[in-house]
Amino acid sequence: MSKFSGANAPMQPTPEMIRNSQTVECECGGVLFSEKLMFKKLSSIVSPTGRDEIIPMPLFICEKCGKVPVIFDPLGLVPTELKTTVEPIEGIQEEAKVVEMKPKQ
Ligand SMILES: [Zn+2]
């Protein structure tokens, strides 16, 4: 019953798990990423330490388009100019609007 004995050991996915998992793709279709570092300057006014701090932020940049896919920025911390932009598909939006305006009877 010592299944969780190694509390500090990270859970290792099996090759089977990895094989059956979806590959993370950038919006451009790229699947290779490189790690970069961005830094944020935290002002002493908001810093928990009460001093100016430089916060390193690791980013994963798509090798193909050089942007950060939205999936890697769930908290929205990455500046917009570094992120991939998901272009709204106008046709679909307009279509949805038309459907919405029609009374359903
Ligand atoms: Zn990309």
Q: Does residue 1 form part of some domain?
A: no
Burial category of 83 from C-beta neighbours within 10 Å (exposed 0-12, middle 13-18, buried 19 and up): middle
pLDDT in tens, 32-78: 999 999 999 999 999 999 999 999 999 999 999 999 999 999 999 99
The Å distance, Cα 33 to ligand 1 centre, comes to 9
The Å distance, Cα 85 to ligand 1 centre, comes to 10
- Other CB atoms within a 10 A radius of the CB of residue 43 amount to 9
Q: Does residue 36 form part of some domain?
A: yes
The Cα 88–Cα 75 span in angstroms is 20
The Å distance, Cα 7 to ligand 1 centre, comes to 36
Helix or strand or coil: residue 53?
A: strand
pTM to 2 decimals? Answer: 0.62
Helix, strand and coil content of the chain, in percent to the nearest 5, comes to 20, 20, 55
Q: Does residue 50 form part of some domain?
A: yes
Q: Write out the two tokens for 68.
A: 């950060």
Q: Does residue 56 form part of some domain?
A: yes
Q: Does residue 16 form part of some domain?
A: no
Q: How confident is the model at residue 6 (pLDDT cuts 50, 70, 90)?
A: low
Q: Does residue 61 form part of some domain?
A: yes
Q: What is the pLDDT of residue 1?
A: 47
What is the count of structural domains for the chain? 1
Q: Does residue 7 form part of some domain?
A: no
pLDDT in tens, 79-102: 999 999 866 555 544 444 555 555
